[in-house]
Amino acid sequence: MKTALYEHHRALGAKLIDFGGWEMPLQYSSIVHEHQIVRSKVGIFDVSHMGRILVEGLGAEALLDYLSTNQIADKPDGTATYTIWCDEKGKCIDDLLVYRVSSTQFFVIVNASNREKDLDHLLHYSAGRDVTINDRYHEDGILAVQGPNADMLIAKIFPDAEALSPMSFIVDSYEGEPVVISATGYTGAGGVEICGPNSIIVKLWEELLKEGEEYGIEPIGLGARDTLRLEAGYALYGHELSGKIAPIETVSAWTVKMNKLDFLGKSALQKLEASKQKRREYPVVLGGKGIAREGFPVYLEDRQIGVVTSGTFSPTLNQAIALVLVDKNLKVGDTIEIQIRQNRCPAEVVSLPFIGTVRH
């Protein structure tokens, strides 16, 4: 599949990769360079492979509250809430943002690889409720404009979006079409994400690149998106979250509100919480040389306690960082070891984020 900006990526000389069936830009220049542009200036990402689903009706709020580990009911209009969805067994289906326009109008933005699964999930649980589910998968595109200069750039084109507080959004218009502008992102660098119909998304991309020149804007690929999100300590579905991991085991465990009256999977999570089976994810900084890659074994005193879920080189820290999933409780300052080929590399448990601002 291709986004509306595919030809633009090619024209910009992007190296393209397959990402969940989508031909997406991995990098335009270099991952480290693009990473640094987002941390120091501003970058623009095409994230149109993610999907938007409208959830509307008198029963929309109750449905989304029931499906989400985080609290959705009674949140203010114009806010976005990060949450996990899990199944009745308490395993992760996806992580996503729930946007509240009003008490009867919501939409969610979900991961590319889970678009069909999430849509089926919503349709299944909306049966018998006063809710309509409409995906915008073929109509909408999504851009992320991230970095310290993002707000200035956005204010030039969308004056009403100036001074959006974190996790809030407005519905503005561009070329006569409605666009959602939210102070959200996946980089820890600040900025916005913009969602609107494909008919205007290409023009908006072009205008942002042109108007952003004075702020040092560059297009950013999925490679830097991954190093940025990892520095910020954000989970990536398929790595920190999956059908084999429970939400309370993840770096996103803070989204799980066990004091909610009920939500799908709650009783399974209560059982897991009370058991000795619960694992935990921790951020670590590597002491030695080498990069901890996904799946590398993690040791504590010669016993394997888990695996690396994501690992990379942090261009900001100039050190290798990783997230690990282990069956042992660790605390900040503890040292574990990661098997990197023939060597055991020491790594220290730290707190999140590695870099950037905390989303919640």
Partner 1 sequence: MKFTETHEWINVKDNIGTVGVTDYAQKELGDIVYVELPKIGSQVKKGQEAVVLESTKAAADVYSPVSGKIVEVNTALSNASEKVNKFPESDGWLFKIQLSDLQEVDSLLDKEAYQSRIP
Q: How many CB atoms lie within 10 A of CB 212?
A: 25
Rounded to whole angstroms, the Cα distance separating 135 from 228 reads: 28
Among positions 124, 271, 289, 360, the unique one binding partner 1 when judged by CB under 8 A: 289
Q: How many amino acids of this chain bind partner 1 (CB under 8 A)?
A: 16
Q: How far is the CB of 13 from partner 1 (least distance, A)?
A: 12
For partner 1, what does the binding mask look like between residues 211 and 250, x meaning CB under 8 A?
------------x---x-----------------------
DSSP state of 165: P
Q: Where are the alpha helices (DSSP H) in the chain?
A: 6-11, 31-40, 60-67, 115-126, 150-157, 198-211, 222-232, 266-274
Q: How far is the CB of 225 from partner 1 (least distance, A)?
A: 12
Q: How far is the CB of 227 from partner 1 (least distance, A)?
A: 6
CB 157 within 8 A of CB 208: yes
For partner 1, the binding residues in 15-44 under the rule CB under 8 A are 26-27, 30-33
Of the two residues 197 and 297, which places its CB atom closer to partner 1 in the complex? 297
> 143: number of CA atoms within 13 Å, CB side?
27
3-state secondary structure (DSSP) of residue 98: strand
For partner 1, what does the binding mask look like between residues 298 and 317, x meaning CB under 8 A?
--------------xx----
For partner 1, the binding residues in 84-143 under the rule CB under 8 A are none
Nearest to 353 by CA among 230, 184, 218: 230
Q: Which two tokens stand for residue 170?
A: 């407005």
Of the two residues 210 and 289, which places its CB atom closer to partner 1 in the complex? 289
Among positions 293, 307, 344, 349, the unique one binding partner 1 when judged by CB under 8 A: 293
3-state secondary structure (DSSP) of residue 77: coil
Among positions 78, 290, 297, 346, the unique one binding partner 1 when judged by CB under 8 A: 290
Pairing mode, strands 217-219 and 42-46: parallel
Among positions 157, 285, 291, 300, the unique one binding partner 1 when judged by CB under 8 A: 291
Q: Name the residues that contact partner 1, by CB under 8 A.
A: 26-27, 30-33, 223, 227, 289-291, 293, 312-313, 320, 341
